Structure 1
């Protein structure tokens, strides 16, 4: 099981003070210090909700107090509230002026990153801790551990290519802008087409009004050419009926002539004498 060394602090930070605090400011600083003490006592009694509330009161009265932020982060870390602890350690690490205290804040910040398996950020945090205290063996141990985990669990390639990601985003934005310009241009063209269609429609209306009073053309005429009657499917035209009747008459005549000829051949010839 991996062992991450945690640096604890029990209110050893020095409170920030104003150059010339006013009476009201002195009162707030004193109240903040009292809340810090009460929070520490509550933690010892395992009364975390009370301790958390006291730390928040201390920070509210003295926002520049790195002590309250760091100790609250440590309290969160002990209760496995990693995200809350990370936030407080970040605040303490960025605002603390003492190298020794910055070292502690960065060290524990690295621990929260390790818990989140953010090994790249953990390595950077431990390095920052060693920059403020190069002789701390515990930080050096945690740094070696973070580097080993980072080597075994490298970040995805896309996370390393931020520049290309930015370029792709820029290209998408440009394409979006170009498409918007194109759409705007098409809208202008559509407006022009609508105006042209409207003008043509007005011209047709004017022409229609000018044609009023003239006699309408016969329905069977189109221009100056007479319209031919179209045959109805399944119905013979008058010409076809006439031709069919003539053919039937001719066929009947031929048949009658043939019958007459047969009669002539079959008739008996009478002699002058009766035998």
Structure 2
């Protein structure tokens, strides 16, 4: 009985081994077919082959990696990245891991995420520091990142300058606005000053006239003499007497000629 159980056990192991070998052969065939389709750029059919292989062996690194390549060529970069990431986790060697990381770096480069590309290529080089293509991609990603940072700094400087210029312009506009609002008040003040100046001038002219009039009253040469009624009477009498004397002299001249004298009669 024990011998029968042992024989049955051996047969079971043999059958399981045969089944596993057959399954592996199917996976390999699917991957092979996928590779051929990929070379012919029949990407949709190649993708199906790789997915079929992974359905049988979810941790098959080669199927994961090649599925990632096919998705990348179809421009499905997000799905390609996930396939490469799965390949890094199931990788059995540094070379397999390096290859998957290298392609993950390519996804970041395609998305222009240069910072992540630099870090991913650097990780790939840790697994294979002698790969020239990875080293080149790493150097390129690093240079692009530096240029990007420099451009960002320049753009930030320009933005700061533009903001400062705008602030200065806004301040100037505000100053001009305040000046325009202040101008009517200044004009009113100027008009008030002019009115005050004119009023002061009129007052000065009036004062000067009054002063001149006062001076004329005080100056006997310019101020006419005012005579009283009695003085006028006396003056008239004196004039009459003088006229009588003149008439008498005229009459006398008629009787006796005389020599005229240089005299100014008053």
Question: Larger radius of gyration, structure 1 or 2?
Answer: 2
Higher relative contact order (CA closer than 8 Å, sequence separation 6+): 1
Normalising by structure 1, we get a TM-score of 0.46
Greater helix share, structure number: 2
TM, length-normalised to structure 2: 0.48
